[in-house]
Homo-oligomer: A and B are copies of this chain.
Amino acid sequence: MNYNLSQIPERFEKPRQKGLTMVMDKGLSLRQVDDFLEVAGEYTDLVKLGWATSYVTPNLKEKLAIYKSAGIPVYFGGTLFEAFYIRGQVDEYRRVLDQYGMEYAEISDGSVEMNSDVKCEYIRQLSQQVTVLSEVGSKDEAKIIPPYKWIKLMRMELEAGAWKVIGEAREGGNVGLFRSSGEVRQGLVEEILTEISEENIIWEAPQKSQQVWFVKLVGANVNVGNIAPNEVISLETIRLGLRGDTFDHFLTQ
């Protein structure tokens, strides 16, 4: 850090197992990736190429190479898996992962109907090829999943081989874990945390108020995701009690 302040919560060093920041790249240019990494590379643990943006993004191989040389794992958004799945092309999806040298993949069912056994079978298969993140929650704001079912699904998917489970929120932060206003479904999150270890969950939390809420509930080292590239520095100050919203939270004296 650039100077010394007392009473700052400890953050783990990379590679972190806890306190992860997952950033969403929804179409950065190669130079914009460089800029993002200059500022936030140290604080970024995972990068998701949002939904199926990788289908239309130019210079995909070059972009993946930049992230690789910075030591930051990248994966394609879960919607891409679903796009292959709904077309009966999952085998081709697996070849695409190989072709691009992907070491991580996300399996989700936010836009499709998929039996949980089928989903777990895909997790099981794919986890022999890559590290799997699986996402729970629908992109349909009308589809409310009760807490006991979130817990059941998360547990099943972790047991099937998922490295982490992700709580769905979309880029906007207005479905799944959140109401359409962006407000956290607090009871849901608290109930999940009574049953699933916080280390195993990445909470999508693109809005500042959501990040603040999670840092206050879980601590500086909460795993959050869908962070915009230019908000990683802000998030880091929220984690450290150095933005107004969490200013008092870590003071011990």
Identical subunits present: 3
Query: Given A5-B89, A6-B89, A110-B244, are A26 and B233 neighbors across the interface (CB < 8 Å)?
Result: yes
Chain A 85-128, CB-CB to B under 8 Å as 1, else 0, gives 01101001000100100000000001110000000000000000
Among B4, B36, B53, B236, the residue within 8 A (CB) of A237 is: B53
Residues of A17-40 whose CB lies within 8 A of B:
26-32, 34-36, 38-40
User: By the criterion CB–CB under 8 Å, are A3 and B55 in contact?
Assistant: yes
Query: Given A55-B3, A87-B6, A96-B3, are A39 and B28 neighbors across the interface (CB < 8 Å)?
Result: yes
User: By the criterion CB–CB under 8 Å, are B3 and A92 in contact?
Assistant: yes
10 nearest A-B pairs in the assembled complex, by CB-CB distance: A27-B233, A52-B242, A29-B35, A139-B244, A111-B247, A29-B38, A3-B96, A111-B244, A56-B236, A29-B39
Binding site for B on A (CB under 8 A): 1-7, 26-32, 34-36, 38-40, 42-43, 50-60, 79-80, 82-84, 86-87, 89, 92, 96, 99, 110-112, 139, 170, 172, 208, 230, 232-234, 236-237, 240, 242-244, 247-248, 251, 253
Further contacts, 11 of them, CB under 8 A, given A3-B96, A5-B87, A83-B242: A2-B57, A4-B89, A6-B89, A27-B234, A38-B58, A43-B56, A51-B244, A56-B236, A79-B243, A112-B247, A170-B244
